[in-house]
Every structure is written in C-alpha cells, then in structure tokens.
Amino acid sequence: MMTLRWKGIVLLAAVLLLGGCRGGEAAGGKLPPKEVQPPSSSEAPAPQTLEEELRQDTVKSVQVAQIPMGEIRRLPLLADRPDDKPIIAKLAEWLRSAAPGEPAAVDEKRYSEVRPHVQVGIEWADGRSAILEPVCTMELATNLTDCHEQEGFVRLYRGGAAEPETIVSPELAGWLNRDYRYETVGVLNDPNPRAEGVSAQGTLRLVPASEERVQQLGAPSCIGREDDYRIAGSYDLTFQPAGGESAAVRHFDDLSLIRPDLQPFAMKRVSFGSFEAFAFIPAYADCHGIEFYLFGVKDGQAFPFSFQIDGAVRPTFDIGPGRDFAVADGRLLVEGGISAGMDYPIRYTFQPDLQARTMQLVRQEEIKP
C-alpha cells in the first residue's frame, strides 16, 4: 500500500464529523436506538473487533464530503430524515456484509496515488465513528484513473485513526464512486519540468516545488475542453546557462495551469535581436484574455519583466485568444481580446527597458477590419 499524503484532511474531517452530527433513529427505521450509557471515568469500554464494530445496527448520521481541489463540500444524511433512512439502511447492510481485504501493491513507477473524491463519515448511536474512502490509482502512461469499483476496495478509518484498514464491498465501492462521484484529484510527484523555454544561451525550466494536484475540467467551456487538465502546485522557475549551473529566477506559490495533457509544454520564444524573451502562459485558453508572464534572457542570465501601464506596474499581461506575439522596431506587440463594451480588440505596443526590466506601454490602438 502507498503512504497516504492526506492524513491531515482525514483527521480534520473526523473532527468536523463528530462536532456536527445530530441524533437520529435506527438505520432501517424499524428498531429504536439502543440506550448507551457513557462509561464512568474508571471504566474503559471493551475493545471491539472490526467485525463487531461494523455490525452496529443503529447509525446516527452519515456525513458525505465531496472533495474537489482544495474545497470540501458536505452533505449530511440523517437517520431521522425519511428520505435518508433507506440510504443509511443500505449502508449499514453493506458494512455488515463487508469482509477485510487488501488491494494488491501498487507499482509506483507505473501508478500514482489519487486523492479520493469523496469521504463518508459515519457515527453510530453508541458514539463510535468511522470514515470511508474509495481506493483510487492513476496510470501515469495513460492518465486513466481506476477507483477499483469491481474489486470493491474501500478504505476504513475507525474512530479517527490516522492509518486505514481495507474492506471489500463492491456495493459500497459502487455507491461511493457512482452516487457521490466528483472530479477525481490525482497527486503527482514528478520531478520533471512542467514547462521549458530553450534558447541558445540556456534553458528556462518550470519545475514542481511540491506535489501537483491534477483534475480534469469535466465540462467544456471557453477556458478548455471537458478532458483538459487543471494542474496546481508550487513551482520554481530556473535558468540553466549553457555549460553552467541552474539558478532560481522566480517562485510561484499555488500556481494553477490548464493544459490539454500532462506532457511538458514549451514557452513561447520572442526574439528582440539583442536579447530573447519567453512568454510563460499558465492557462492556454480563456474567454477574453490569456494571461502570460514574460522572462528575458541576455548575457547568460534570465530575469522577469514587469509591465508598466499608465504608472501602474503589473507582473503579467493578457493576449487575446488565438493571437500571437510580434516584434516590430524592437518593440513588443500584443493584441488583446474583446470583452464587454468593446467593438474592436486593441493592439498594445511595449518598449523594453532592460535596465529596469520592464515593458513600458507606449501606444495602444483599436484593430479595425
């Protein structure tokens, strides 16, 4: 089994679960809740085996937490709510019939751990609790995610435990992955560059500085196709001169990329004659304007440009969808997109200032047909 990197999320979910659950009825709506007296300070509860703990007949509440990237959405199922009774009864039945199991060891060269898209917290009427999660992996060569529904593997954390056990229940695994499915978030730990800009003087590389969280968009829009990927993490941009040592250029905290695949991509090279520049575009598509960073390379060194516009300084600028960069008379030409209230796109002309490392806006004009 692979080491879990999201134990903190599990512990947090358990705390929230115990603090937010309410009283209820029997799981099937027929049996009254058992009267459970809290043990005295001198009397510790007798330990229970996994089978005994899962055979509790009264479920007080169920807390479903859907987990997209960095966000948690919770949906409580309560035993005293009529619409929730049959769901809770089924859940209790699956837990009673589940058997201990262990999925096969994962080849970490071929597969990556995948964060679960859903967690289910359960509290029984006697105060015991558990958290359930699917067991998911992603094949690195194909980017396909498998949550092992047919095998029926489910991870079980009892009483807020940090380490899970594994049970086998195809019905329960199918319920987790079908009824409460959300976009699966993969976790990549790949040291290879995410983006590169290659010049005669050296190479710019965008290198992950943390694990990367990967999630498909799930629906087509102006920011990408349904099967495009949102990739998020912290990154270091470095420059390695030809025959020299790599040096840091910039650090990005919690940067979000949108790409059609998970392969490294090339930065856009723009030549000014006396120096080169590379446009780094985190998201390749957008509704109105595509944000980009610009980095200069000269005399074996790389540095970031900022954009000076009407006295304000910005680290990025936008280029219109489907537009390209151009250089005329040593100046950078950027054609913007069209947003609400505009009849025509605007062409922006920037004068580079290498000493100040800025691109100064010197002209803007409408682009009329």
For 316-358, write each residue's pLDDT tens digit.
Answer: 999 999 999 999 999 999 999 887 778 899 999 999 999 999 9
If asked whether residues 216 and 234 sit together in one domain, one would say yes
Residue 36 has pLDDT above 70, yes or no: no
Mean pLDDT of 224-246: 90
Asked whether residue 38 is domain-assigned, the answer is: no
- Compute the residue count for the chain: 369
Which residues constitute the domain of residue 239?
189-366
Of the candidates 184, 219, 236, which is a domain's last residue?
184
Q: Which helix (H) or strand (E) holds 155?
A: strand 153-158
Which pLDDT value is given to residue 241?
94
Asked whether residue 330 is domain-assigned, the answer is: yes
Inter-helix orientation angle 170-178/85-97, to 10°: 140
CA distance 211 to 216: 17
If asked whether residues 336 and 199 sit together in one domain, one would say yes
The order of strands in the sheet holding 312-314 is 312-314, 306-309, 358-366, 346-353, 331-335, 326-328
CA distance 114 to 168: 19
Residue 109 has pLDDT above 90, yes or no: no
Considering only residues 34 and 221, tell me which one the structure prediction assigns the higher pLDDT. Answer: 221
Which pLDDT value is given to residue 64?
64
Decide: 43 and 24 in contact? Cβ < 8 Å: no
Q: Which helix (H) or strand (E) holds 171?
A: helix 170-178
If asked whether residues 350 and 228 sit together in one domain, one would say yes
Q: Binning pLDDT at 50, 70 and 90, where does residue 138 land?
A: confident
Decide: 235 and 194 in contact? Cβ < 8 Å: yes
Considering only residues 365 and 18, tell me which one the structure prediction assigns the higher pLDDT. Answer: 365
Considering only residues 158 and 59, tell me which one the structure prediction assigns the higher pLDDT. Answer: 158
Residue 246 has pLDDT above 90, yes or no: yes
* 175-to-133, 165, 179, 180, 313 alpha-carbon distances in Å: 11, 19, 5, 7, 52
Mean pLDDT of 264-275: 95
CA distance 301 to 33: 72
Farthest-apart Cα atoms in the chain, separation: 86
Q: Binning pLDDT at 50, 70 and 90, where does residue 136 land?
A: confident
Asked whether residue 1 is domain-assigned, the answer is: no
Q: Binning pLDDT at 50, 70 and 90, where does residue 106 land?
A: low
Which sign does the torsion angle of CA 137, 160, 156, 31 carry?
negative
If asked whether residues 356 and 340 sit together in one domain, one would say yes
Of the candidates 184, 203, 230, which is a domain's last residue?
184
If asked whether residues 173 and 193 sit together in one domain, one would say no
Tokens of 345: 């796109």
Asked whether residue 301 is domain-assigned, the answer is: yes
Asked whether residue 40 is domain-assigned, the answer is: no
If one counts the domains in the chain, the total is 2
Q: Are strands 195-199 and 265-266 parallel, antiparallel or unpaired?
A: parallel
pLDDT above 90 covers a percentage of the chain that reads: 35
If asked whether residues 195 and 139 sit together in one domain, one would say no
Residue 295 has pLDDT above 70, yes or no: yes
Mean pLDDT of 130-151: 75
If asked whether residues 131 and 193 sit together in one domain, one would say no
Mean pLDDT of 148-154: 78
If asked whether residues 162 and 264 sit together in one domain, one would say no
If asked whether residues 167 and 306 sit together in one domain, one would say no
**3-class DSSP assignment, residue 131:** strand
pLDDT digits (tens, 9 = 90+) for 77-91: 777 777 777 777 777
Asked whether residue 214 is domain-assigned, the answer is: yes
Residue 24 has pLDDT above 50, yes or no: no
Which pLDDT value is given to residue 182?
43
CA angle 285, 287, 290 (to 5 degrees): 50
Asked whether residue 274 is domain-assigned, the answer is: yes
If asked whether residues 89 and 220 sit together in one domain, one would say no
The pTM assigned to this predicted structure is: 0.57
Sequence-separated (6 or more) residues with CB below 8 Å from residue 351: 330, 331, 359, 360, 362
Residue 222 has pLDDT above 80, yes or no: yes
Decide: 330 and 342 in contact? Cβ < 8 Å: no
If asked whether residues 160 and 297 sit together in one domain, one would say no
Which pLDDT value is given to residue 178?
63
Which neighbouring-strand residues pair with 292? Answer: 317
Which sign does the torsion angle of CA 241, 233, 277, 355 carry?
negative
For the ranges 122-136, 238-252, 315-329, the lowest mean pLDDT is seen at: 122-136
If asked whether residues 226 and 122 sit together in one domain, one would say no
Which neighbouring-strand residues pair with 340? Answer: none
Q: Binning pLDDT at 50, 70 and 90, where does residue 209 land?
A: very high
Asked whether residue 24 is domain-assigned, the answer is: yes
Residue 270 has pLDDT above 90, yes or no: yes
Of the candidates 184, 215, 235, which is a domain's last residue?
184
